[in-house]
Structure 1
Amino acid sequence: MALQWVILTWVVAAEAVLSLLLTLPWPRLIKSQIVSLVSLILQPAACVLFFAAFQLLDLYWKNEHRLSCSSEMCTSEERNRYEKSIFKAQRNAVLCVSACLLYWCIFRICKFHKVIKGLEEAEKRLKEN
C-alpha cells in the first residue's frame, strides 16, 4: 500500500518542478520549447487525475469503515495508533488534492502560453498589413 503513496509523492514533486519551470522568466525561445514539451506530456499524464481520485475514494472508504477509538476502554497505544492513522489519511488526502491542483495549474499555464503566442502572431500579421 505504501508504494502508491510514494509514487503519488514523486508525481506531485515532478508537477511542482514543472510548474516552477513554466513560471520562471526564460528567454522566449527556451520558454516556447519548454511549453511545447510539457504540452506533449500533459495528455498521457492525465492518468494522474484518475489515480488520485481513486486514492481519495479509497481514503473515504477506509475512513467510513475505520474502528473508532474514542471510549475510555481504549489503551493509550490504541489511541495513538488511531490518531496516527487519521493524520496519515489527512496527509494522503492533501497529497491527492495537490496532485490534481498542480496538474490543473500546469494545464492552464500551457494553455495561456499558447493563447498568448496566438495573439502575438495575430498582432504581427495585423502590423504587417
Structure 2
Amino acid sequence: MALQWMILTYIVTAEAAIAFLLTLPSPKVLKYRLAGLVSLLLQPALFIVPFAGFQLLDIYWKNEHRLMCNSEICTAAERDRYEKSIYKAQRNVILCAAACLLYWSIYRICKYYKEIESLEEVERRYKEQ
C-alpha cells in the first residue's frame, strides 16, 4: 500500500510543479508551447482520477472496518496506533483530493490558453481584412 501512496505523492508534486510553471509569467510563445505540450500529456494522465477515486474507496472501506479503540481496555500504544492510522487516512484523503483538483486546474489552464490563442488568431484575421 505504501507504494501506491508514494506514487500518488509524486504525481501530486509533478502536477503542482506543472501548474506553477503554467501560471508563471513568461513570454506568450513559451507559455502557449508549454500549454500545448501539457495538453498532450493530459489525456494519458487522466488515469490519476480513477486511481485517486479507488484509493478513496479503499480508505472508506478501511475506515468502516477499522477496529475502534475508545474504551478503557485499550493500552496507550494501541490508542496511539489507532490515532496514527486515522491521521494517515486523513492525509491520504487530502492527497487524493489534491490530485483530482490539480488535474482539473491544469486542464482548465491549458484550455484557457488555447481559447486565448484562438481568439488572438481571430483578432489577427480581422485586423488583416
Unpaired runs of 5+ residues, structure 1, are none
Amino acid at match of 1:123: E
Q: TM-score, normalised by structure 1?
A: 0.98
What is the Cα deviation at residue 6 of structure 1? 0.3
What is the Cα deviation at residue 100 of structure 1? 0.2
What is residue 9 of structure 2 aligned with on the other side? 9
What is the Cα deviation at residue 83 of structure 1? 0.2
SS of 2:72's partner is: coil
What is residue 46 of structure 1 aligned with on the other side? 46
Amino acid at match of 2:43: Q
Distance 2:101 2:44 in 1: 17
Q: Tell me the alpha carbon deviations over residues 59-113 of structure 1, each in whole angstroms, 9 at most, x when there is no partner.
A: 0000000000011111111000000000000000000000000000000000000
Identity level (%): 64
What is residue 127 of structure 1 aligned with on the other side? 127
What is residue 61 of structure 2 aligned with on the other side? 61
Q: TM-score, normalised by structure 2?
A: 0.98
Distance 2:61 2:86 in 1: 13
Query: Given the alignment of the two structures, is residue 30 of structure 1 paired with residue 35 of structure 2, yes or no?
Result: no
Distance 2:92 2:77 in 1: 22
Written as runs of structure 1 = structure 2, the 5 A alignment for 1:31-110 is 31-110=31-110
Amino acid at match of 1:98: A
Distance 1:25 1:83 in 2: 43
Structure 1 residue runs of 4 or more that deviate by more than 4 Å after TM superposition? none
What is the Cα deviation at residue 127 of structure 1? 1.3
- The count of corresponding residues between Structure 1 and Structure 2 is 129
Distance 1:101 1:42 in 2: 13
What is the Cα deviation at residue 55 of structure 1? 0.2
Distance 1:40 1:127 in 2: 31
Amino acid at match of 1:51: F
